[in-house]
């Protein structure tokens, strides 16, 4: 039996809609794989999902990703999966991507490590497409590689790994709400005013430069989203008040994680992340009785990795 862990991820990162993402150290998902007698992929069990995830191996992101790997390798090996969900569903922190990545990393190890990182990324994306209807590398790429990742293109996947300034940390607030990704994407429409596009391009380029130069001040100025955030903010009660609380507590920037409802705040230190996260949690409680979980972590450099099976 082989077990692999893949972490939560923050995608979009304010100004980088569909192209930028980063990994946390924790929380994350664990997938266990072991040989099966029958060819193909089966799901032996899932924990932590409250019975919500499909056990159909063609539609579950983890099993579909492993099936894509077996197809690529042209093998009829049988594989059995057990998923341990540490990430909430429909949370905006890469839950489906983490399962897909952990599954292909564990399966690849079980098979003798025949596939490289590029193949694992493509297979994880295929798993996400089967399970969620769309394949985007801005969650699966940082879950696989760790750190910050720029997804230049989807097909074929072309991802650029970016440096992580020392000490950079994240507070991640997960309200106990669900946001459907398809509905959140429909809010965006099909057109963007040129002035907004130009401002967003400038912010994205500056953010990448800030990562390479470890320029915290430039990073803070760049964490501005003039296109997506204004349209999706109403999905989270008290969004702008929570964001203001994070900034007042010392965060470099704050925005939605993925399509929400989770919100992230980037900070210069882990202590700052704790302070910002606690301020966000308090302020959210003033606007909603839904409750919210808080995760505090360094920006994760490791990405997916093998772990000891429980």
Q: Of 34, 77, 129, 181, which one is the catalytic site residue?
A: 181
Catalytic residue, chosen from 9, 61, 90, 128, is 128
269 part of the active site: no
> Is 128 an active-site residue?
yes
Q: Which two tokens stand for residue 113?
A: 């490590």
Query: What radius of gyration, in Å, describes the C-alpha atoms of the chain?
Result: 19
Residues serving a catalytic function are 128, 181
């Amino acid at each position: 039996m082989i077990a692999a862990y893949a972490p939560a991820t923050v995608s979009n990162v304010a100004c980088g809609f569909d192209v930028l993402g980063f990994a946390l150290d924790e929380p994350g998902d664990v997938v266990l794989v072991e040989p099966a007698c029958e060819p193909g992929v089966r799901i032996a069990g899932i924990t932590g999902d409250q019975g919500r995830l499909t056990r159909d191996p063609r539609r579950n992101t983890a099993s579909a990703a492993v099936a894509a790997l077996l197809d690529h390798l042209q093998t009829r090996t049988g594989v059995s999966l057990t998923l341990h969900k540490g990430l909430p569903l429909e949370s905006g922190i890469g839950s489906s991507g983490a399962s897909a990545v952990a599954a292909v990393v564990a399966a690849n190890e079980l098979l003798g490590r025949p596939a490289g990182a590029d193949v694992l990324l493509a297979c994880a994306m295929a798993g996400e497409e089967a399970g969620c209807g769309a394949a985007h590398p801005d969650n699966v790429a940082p879950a696989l590689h760790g750190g910050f990742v720029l997804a230049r293109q989807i097909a074929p996947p072309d991802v650029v790994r970016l440096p992580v300034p020392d000490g950079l940390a994240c507070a991640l607030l997960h309200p106990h709400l669900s946001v459907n990704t398809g509905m959140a994407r429909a809010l965006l429409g099909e057109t963007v005013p040129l002035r907004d596009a130009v401002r967003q391009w400038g912010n994205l380029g500056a953010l990448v430069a800030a990562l390479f130069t470890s320029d915290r001040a430039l990073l803070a100025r760049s964490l501005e989203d003039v296109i997506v955030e204004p349209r999706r903010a109403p999905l989270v009660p008290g969004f702008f008040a929570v964001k203001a609380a994070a900034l007042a507590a010392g965060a470099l920037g704050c925005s939605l994680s993925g399509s929400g409802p989770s919100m992230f705040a980037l900070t210069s230190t882990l202590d700052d992340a704790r302070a910002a996260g606690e301020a966000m949690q308090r302020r959210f409680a003033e606007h909603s009785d839904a409750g919210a979980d808080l995760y505090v972590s360094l920006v994760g450099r490791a990405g997916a990795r093998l772990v000891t099976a429980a």
